[in-house]
Chain A
Amino acid sequence: MMLDPIAAPLERYLDLLSARQKLSAQNIANADTPGYKTRDLDFAAEMEAHMAAGPPAVVEVEGLKTRNDGNNVSVDREARLLAENSLRFNAAAQLLRGQFRAVRSAIQEGRSG
């Protein structure tokens, strides 16, 4: 549809951000679970393959400090991601709404022509 070239990357972005937010919530819930390793998406890679459909791949995060009980969740990192993801999602959703509005205007413009 006429909308797709603009909307498709935005839609994928929204998909990835919501998947990421879920993982952050999961990491926070398991911040004190022995042996639990932080999960995330390889965001850049997933966006690059943005024409891909289907759920993004979940990976274990490298470079995090592991504590005695085997857990490596950094609540600070997760809290930061929660905020970031929310803001980005909001921005992308606004942009998408703008696209819809523009197309709707174009359609209605033609009405009285």
Chain B
Amino acid sequence: MSLFSAISVSASGMAAQRARAELLVENLANVETTRTPQGGPYRRKDAVFATAPAESPFGSMFANQLAPEGVEVVEVVVDQRDPERRYLPGHPDADPDGYVAFPRIHPAEDMVDLMGAARGYQANVSAISAVKDMIHRSLDLLR
């Protein structure tokens, strides 16, 4: 791949981290959501990353070891575990026994993950910057 595809690779990294961050933010916003359109409490969502071929701006028909490998979110996993039950008899969503189903989310964990996603995003931005630098230096060779 040429340096230009490396930029595509980093861009895919940015997109994936951003998608991951969005899901984490959604989790954090819905920590106390006991009622959803699908029925039942909010269920935590998780992004699953996998390596995926990145676009090459120029066509490349040759697969070689340096074929660009970016990343993509292949799946959004929804937490299937039983929700957390808390005893709150007065709650509008309480069941006949007085228990309310809450999402299984640990805000602290998701906050840390969110910071990780932000850092990952930033790292990809730096990578693009470094690659662009090389491209500019290459152009300088023509002077």
A residues with CB within 8 A of B = 14, 17-19, 21-26, 28-34, 36, 55, 57-58, 75, 78-79, 82-83, 85-86, 89-90, 93, 96-97
Contact = CB atoms under 8 A, between A and B. Distances in A.
The 7 closest A-B pairs by CB, nearest first: A29-B13, A82-B130, A22-B6, A25-B127, A25-B6, A33-B49, A58-B65
Interface of B: 1, 3, 5-7, 9-10, 12-13, 16-17, 20, 48-51, 54, 64-66, 68-71, 116-117, 119-120, 123-124, 126-128, 130-131, 133-134, 137-138, 140-141, 143
A79 B7 CA distance: 15
A25 to B, nearest CB: 4
Given A33-B71, A34-B48, A36-B51, A93 B66 contact: no
A57 to B, nearest CB: 7
A55 B127 contact: no
A30 B13 contact: yes
B141 A32 contact: no
Chain B contact residues, majority secondary structure: helix
A29 B10 contact: yes
A31 B120 contact: yes
Contacts of B66: 19, 22-23, 55, 58
B51, B68, B138: residue with the most chain A Cβ atoms closer than 10 Å: B51
A22 B124 contact: no
Contacts of A97: 140-141, 143
Given A22-B1, A83-B130, A33 B68 contact: no
A36 to B, nearest CB: 6
Contacts of B17: 32
B61 to A, nearest CB: 15
B123 A31 contact: yes
Given A22-B68, A25-B9, A93 B141 contact: yes
11 contacts: A14-B138, A22-B1, A22-B6, A24-B127, A25-B6, A25-B127, A30-B51, A31-B13, A55-B66, A79-B123, A82-B130
